């Protein structure tokens, strides 16, 4: 039940991101990807990862979107942590929920968001990622 509430909180937070009328920036230029990989682990790296990957129809390039993304990442961590700690099913369910939610990110974009949240916002929970995750 808690995991479901966490997923709901993530989807509600994403609803606040503005919808872009232009194609999503998931084809970000190489400098954005380089910036994402050069930032030290933490909130800024998480935001850079998501901005480099894009997020469905959402414009994630604004400062306001960055704050929303950070909140979403924290909610992902919270939901995964409350889903029994090592429950890999929670990982897959979170990704599927994001794909079906507001903004309609691709499977790859949703996976990047969840993986980056774990690595950068709750690194003590790396055990929540399946082995072999990029």
- Token pair listed for 80: 């995964």
**pLDDT score, position 27:** 41
**pLDDT score, position 132:** 66
Q: Give, for 91, the enclosing helix (H) or strand (E).
A: helix 88-100
> What per-residue string of b and e applies to 118-127 under the rule 16 or more CB within 10 Å gives b?
bbbbbeebee
Q: Is 19 helix (H, G, I), strand (E, B) or coil?
A: strand
**pLDDT score, position 115:** 95
Q: Is 55 helix (H, G, I), strand (E, B) or coil?
A: strand
Average pLDDT estimate for 96-103: 90
Average pLDDT estimate for 93-100: 92
Question: What would the pLDDT profile of 3-58 be if each residue is shown by its tens digit?
Answer: 444 554 455 455 454 444 444 444 444 444 445 557 899 999 999 999 999 999 88
For residues 48 and 65, give the distance between their C-alpha atoms in angstroms, rounded to a whole number.
12
For residues 69 and 44, give the distance between their C-alpha atoms in angstroms, rounded to a whole number.
11
Question: What would the pLDDT profile of 63-90 be if each residue is shown by its tens digit?
Answer: 999 999 999 999 999 988 887 655 567 8
Q: Is the pTM of this model over 0.75?
A: no
């Amino acid at each position: 039940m808690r995991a479901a509430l966490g997923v709901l909180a993530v989807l509600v937070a994403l609803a606040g991101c503005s919808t872009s009328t232009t194609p999503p920036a998931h084809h970000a230029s190489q400098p954005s990807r380089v910036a994402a990989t050069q930032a030290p682990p933490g909130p800024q790296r998480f935001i850079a990862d998501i901005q480099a990957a894009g997020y469905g129809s959402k414009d994630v390039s604004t400062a306001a979107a960055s704050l929303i993304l950070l909140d979403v990442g924290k909610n992902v961590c919270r939901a995964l942590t409350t889903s029994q700690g090592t429950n890999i099913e929670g990982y897959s369910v979170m990704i599927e929920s994001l794909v079906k939610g507001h903004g309609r990110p691709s499977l790859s974009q949703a996976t990047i968001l969840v993986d980056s949240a774990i690595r950068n916002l709750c690194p003590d929970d790396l055990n929540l990622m399946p082995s072999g995750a990029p």
